[in-house]
Amino acid sequence: MQRILMVEDEPEVREMIRYILETKGYGVDEADNAQEARRLLSQQTYDLILMDWMLPGRSGLELTRELKQMARSNTPPIIMLTARSEESDKVNGLDSGADDYITKPFSPKEMLARIKAVIRRNSAPETDKGVEFAGLCIEPNSHSVSINGSPLHLSPAEYRLLYFFMTHPDRVYSRNQILDYVWGATASVDERTVDVHIRRLRKQLTPSGHKNFLQTVRGVGYRFTPGNIQQERPSS
């Protein structure tokens, strides 16, 4: 049974979502604040987190950012639930580490479709062939990434994006092509999602200089081209 952690402070909303999910065969745990969510995550493995943006105390946005920065490869994918519908809010949600973003009010059919798509993307089988360029190594068998032997902890979306580029080097891909390959043709995300995740992945690759492998091709899209390493100099 796939398990979902629902982080939502409104009892009526929790009851409604739990009923929808359980009728579809999902196991559901509930948390009404960030502290309780952290406690449950320390005790149970989940396939996905439904995260409300507005929580008492620490916000869902802050908790999402914290979870994605904890450097744990087993952090489940996160779908942000929020009434905030502005494009800047969506970008902030994705930039914090969320894998998808659902605006309230939403239909049960939409929520279930998003959940299925995100879980499927994060459990999709890959080849067992590892790939390595200039010390940057990705190993599908262990779902791990390392740079010169040191582990690099990526979010699920960042991992899929890097795996796609490293297995398709020296070719230019449009944002729509990347969406289809990495998120799936039925994903409810737009081209801006690609830019957000490229920026986050480059930030992760900056200290070792590997960010230069991800090149922007103006007016077309992106290309992964292994080349010279330019390490960041420590600030004085």
| Largest pairwise CA distance in the chain | 58
What is the reported pLDDT for 84? 73
What is the reported pLDDT for 234? 43
CA distance 203 to 97: 13
Which CATH number describes the domain made up of 3-123?
Answer: 3.40.50.2300
What is the reported pLDDT for 230? 56
172-174 β-sheet, strand order: 172-174, 221-224, 214-217
Q: Return the CATH class of domain 131-224.
A: mainly alpha
CA distance 122 to 118: 6
What is the reported pLDDT for 146? 94
Torsion, Cα 169 172 174 179, to 10 degrees, reads: -10
What is the reported pLDDT for 85? 63
What is the reported pLDDT for 231? 53
What is the reported pLDDT for 143? 82
pLDDT tens per residue across span 188-206: 567 788 898 899 999 999 9
What is the reported pLDDT for 233? 43
3-state secondary structure of 55: coil
> For residue 204, which amino acid is it?
Q
What is the reported pLDDT for 224? 94
* Spans in the chain with pLDDT lower than 70: 70-74, 85-87, 89, 123-128, 184-189, 228-236
Distances (CA, A) of 206 to 106, 190, 200, 201, 202: 38, 25, 10, 9, 6
For the chain, which residues make up each domain, given as ranges? 3-123, 131-224
Evaluate whether 3-123 and 131-224 have a shared fold: no
CA distance 150 to 23: 43
What is the reported pLDDT for 235? 43
